[in-house]
Amino acid sequence: MKIAYYLHWNDVPESGVIKKIVHQITQWMNFDLDVKIFLLTQNENWNSASIEIPFEARIYSNNLNRLINSYALVNQINTWSPDLIYTRYDLYNPVLELLIKIPMVMEINTDDLTEYSRGGFFRQLYNNLTRKHYLKMPNGLIFVTEEIAERRHFKIGKKIKIISNGIEMQLYTVLPPPKNQYPNLVFIGTEGQLWHGTDKIKALAQMFPNWLFHIIGNSSQQGMIRKDNIVYYPFLSKHDYQQIMAIADVAIGTLALHRIDMNQACPLKVREYLAYGLPVIIGYEDMDLKGFDGVLQIANTPNNIYDYKEQIDEFVNQWMGKRINPQQLSIDAKEKEFERMEFFKEIVEQRKTTV
C-alpha cells in the first residue's frame, strides 16, 4: 500500500509533531507500506532538513504563493498515485478537493473549535465556516482521545478509530537513577502554549525553593539561563535533552489542559519521559497511564498545584533517586500503528465497494 502523508506545518523539522510523524511512518514502513510526506510550509529550515522519511517540501512566503505551492504539491501527490492519503486536521485548504478521488484518513489531535477560538477572529471565523465541508472529505477519522471523539461537532457519520500516541520503545533505554542532594525536575514543551502550564512550574519553583527545575524549549532563547531555582534551555536535540533527563528525578507533563477545555491527552513528551524511566506528574487524564504507580495525576483545575502541594511533595521525595519500569505500560508505537494500518485497510476496502 502506498500512503501519501499530506502535512501543512510551519514549525521546525525538529519539532515534537515532526518527531511523532517520523515515528509513525517508521512503523508503517516496518509493515512494508510505501510512505512519503508531502509538506506545505513557510519554514525555510526545511530547505536543509534531514529526516529519515522520504518527503517533498513546498515552501511558501505569502498567501498567493501558498496557493501556487498547494497546487504543485497536490499535483505531486496525484502523480505519485497513492492508495490512501493521511493528514492531520488543519485549516481547510480548497486545493485538497483535487485529491477527492483518493481515500483519505484524517487524524484529529485536538478540538478545533477550541483551538481556533484562541487564534484570532478571522482564523476562527474561517474554520467555523468551512469545517463541516472539510470534514466531509476524509473517509475515516482517527482521534487520539475518547474525549475529542465524543464531542458533538465530530459526530458526522464517519468511520472512526481511537488510537492514543505511542513511541518506539526500542529506541529508549532506562537512564540510571540520579544521585542528587535535592530533587531535580524536568519539563519539555513549546514556548507560548498556555495549556502546558509553565507558569505553574514557576509557581512550583517558588513553593519548593530547594528543588531545581529544568525547563526545555524556549525557542526565543540562546543558550542556558538560570533564574533562582529554574534553569531555562532553548530547543535541544535528543542527545542534549537526554543528558538533562539523566540528572532529573521526576518529569512534569502538561498542567493546564483546562485552559483549552480538555481533560484527556496522550502527549509524546510524557511517553518519552516514561521510556527513560522517569516518574511523571500530570494534570490530565491519560488512559494509557491510569493507575500506574510512577505517575501522579493531579486535578485538571486552575489551582491544581496548590491543592495537591502535599501529594506532589510526597511523590517527588518518594521517587527521588529511583526509576520506573516503562515495560509495564502500553505506550509502544508498534501495537498502536498496527491498529492504524488495519484501519487504513478497512478504509481502502470500504472505498472500493462504494465507488
Q: State the pTM of this model.
A: 0.85
Q: Is the pLDDT of residue 353 over 80?
A: no
Question: Could you tell me the pLDDT band of residue 237, with boundaries at 50, 70 and 90?
Answer: confident
Contact 171, 184 (CB under 8 A): no
Question: Could you tell me the pLDDT band of residue 355, with boundaries at 50, 70 and 90?
Answer: low
16-25, 55-64, 78-87, 322-331, range with the lowest pLDDT: 16-25
Contact 178, 151 (CB under 8 A): no
90 and 184 fall within a common domain: no
139 and 251 fall within a common domain: no
Question: Could you tell me the pLDDT band of residue 50, with boundaries at 50, 70 and 90?
Answer: confident
Question: Given this model, what pLDDT does residue 144 score?
Answer: 95
Integer-rounded Cα Rg, in Å, for the chain is: 21
Contact 278, 324 (CB under 8 A): yes
Question: Given this model, what pLDDT does residue 231 score?
Answer: 96
Average pLDDT over residues 43-68: 89
125 and 12 fall within a common domain: yes
129 and 196 fall within a common domain: no
Average pLDDT over residues 285-302: 96
151 and 6 fall within a common domain: yes
Q: How far apart, in whole angstroms, are the C-alpha atoms of residue 271 and residue 275?
A: 6
Specify which residues 5 forms β-bridges with.
Answer: 37, 86
Boundaries of domain holding 292: 169-328
When divided into structural domains, the chain yields a total of 2
Question: Could you tell me the pLDDT band of residue 179, with boundaries at 50, 70 and 90?
Answer: very high
21 and 132 fall within a common domain: yes
273 and 128 fall within a common domain: no
88 and 157 fall within a common domain: yes
Average pLDDT over residues 19-45: 91
103 and 62 fall within a common domain: yes
Helix (H) or strand (E) holding 135, with range, is: helix 121-136
Question: Given this model, what pLDDT does residue 120 score?
Answer: 86
Q: What is the pLDDT of residues 249-287, one digit of tens each?
A: 999 999 999 998 899 999 989 999 999 999 999 999 999
Specify the DSSP class assigned to residue 259. Answer: G
Q: How far apart, in whole angstroms, are the C-alpha atoms of residue 287 and residue 265?
A: 8
CATH of the domain at 241: 3.40.50.2000
24 and 115 fall within a common domain: yes
Largest Cα–Cα separation, the chain: 67
294 and 190 fall within a common domain: yes
182 and 309 fall within a common domain: yes
Question: Given this model, what pLDDT does residue 119 score?
Answer: 75
Amino acid letter for position 93: N
Produce one character per residue of 271-293: b if its CB has 16 or more CB atoms within 10 Å, e if not.
Answer: bbbbbbbbbbbbbbbbebbeebe
Produce one character per residue of 229-251: b if its CB has 16 or more CB atoms within 10 Å, e if not.
Answer: bbbbbbbbeeeebeebbbebbbb
Query: What mean pLDDT is reported for the chain?
Result: 93
